[in-house]
Amino acid sequence: MANKLTARRKVETAKPGKYSDGGNLYLIVSETGARKWVLRFTWRGRAKEMGLGSAASVPLADAREKAANARRKIAQGLNPIDERKRDGGIPSFGEMADDVRETLSAGFRNEKHKAQWKSTLETYPAARQTGGHHRHRRRAGGP
């Protein structure tokens, strides 16, 4: 992959527009002169853009390194945006649901009640993502 941008010549003096450094790493310069680094990639058939930071605070070499790390995650089958959120301490829905269930389970009367909560939290959110469980959906033209 040939790098096209140079720290002095292009990054600091670029006019508004989108400038490729290669490997889907772009410097985007707005009309106001703000500069940001973006990595473009395809995830599950959809185009995604991952912000890598402002060019004012992230040098070109660091942007290249961040892009390389994100490309490695993509090659491993991981979405780098989701991984960054997870690394930042933001729990997934499943992790949060498990924490809530654990906290509330002290007040449950029996083990069956605990199992019902777990089953509900595993079944219904997953079905919503995949479009399953139609019995609770309204029919067109009906109440």
* Residue 136 is assigned to a structural domain of this protein: no
**Run of H or E including 119:** helix 111-130
* Residue 139 is assigned to a structural domain of this protein: no
Distance CA(85)–CA(111), nearest Å, equals 34
Which residue's structure tokens are 């599950």? 44
One domain for residues 69 and 112? no
* Residue 142 is assigned to a structural domain of this protein: no
CATH number for position 19? 3.30.160.390
One domain for residues 66 and 126? no
User: What would you measure as the largest C-alpha separation in the chain, in angstroms?
Assistant: 69
Distance CA(60)–CA(43), nearest Å, equals 24
Amino acid at 90: I
Is residue 73's pLDDT more than 80? Answer: yes
For residue 53, give its domain range. 7-87
Distance CA(100)–CA(133), nearest Å, equals 23
Give the residue with greater pLDDT, 87 vs 27: 27
Q: What is the mean pLDDT of residues 122-127?
A: 67
Domain count of the fold of the chain: 2
For residue 140, give the 3-state DSSP assignment.
Answer: coil
One domain for residues 46 and 107? no
Q: Which tokens in the block code for residue 7? A: 């720290």
One domain for residues 42 and 75? yes
One domain for residues 82 and 12? yes
Q: What is the pLDDT of residue 132?
A: 53
